[in-house]
Chains A and B, each alone.
Chain A
Amino acid sequence: MAEVQVKEDSGKGGKVRSKKHNPRVDMTPMVDLNFLMLMFFMFTTTFSKPNVMDLGLPAKPKKDQKQPDTEIKLSNSISVIIGKDNKVFYHQQDQAGLNDATLMETTFDREGIRKVIEQAKAGAADKDLFTVIIKPTDDAVYKNFVDILDEMAITKNERYGVTDIKPWELAIYKKKVGE
């Protein structure tokens, strides 16, 4: 798309004039190149930032400090046990009530654990104090842990805790997965 150079023909001949250059420079390739680089930088900036998820851990109780009362009413809480092979179990029982039948298994998708948590919350005596207790076993993988924290964000559960699995829970869990 360069300018068409029109040859000036004065018809008179003789006098040799210095040729007049067209002062307009064709900028099209430059603009092309600019856009290319612009695209590159735009894409690299937007995609290089990973997402993050906040995680706050509870402080370890000091030795001389009295341990706060952490007992939560069973009906106001649900224990979620993360097992191996992306399995997840839940129960609302204490040591006496927990057995093969009361430790339920569910899945990580929308119809699974999310429904369970929502139902348990709906049935809680005091909805503001409803707590989810997350107990990952040693077979769990990091992804499951993040998934559960995600579910907490989706179901807008501010109150949740991560603790170790209790021995009596572990025994039932092992039985359930067939170990």
Chain B
Amino acid sequence: MSLHKSINHLRKGETATIVGYRSDDIPIKIYEMGLLPGVTLTKKQQLPFNGPVYLRIQDNPNAIALRESEADLILIESMQKT
């Protein structure tokens, strides 16, 4: 089901919108960093051997890095590549 894709399913360069979270019990920092439902983000790269993911949030010059375990908590709906 497309609804249950997480950030980990994104390919490099792919853009998606956050639609929810896998559980209620996620670090508060995810919210505070602005990884909120409705936010559009792009996966820019990932380090080898399941290393952290490098994300860019729309309209924000700062980047965010997550481990795969956190990326897995954030559910997304991927958008058509423009």
Do A and B form a real pair? no
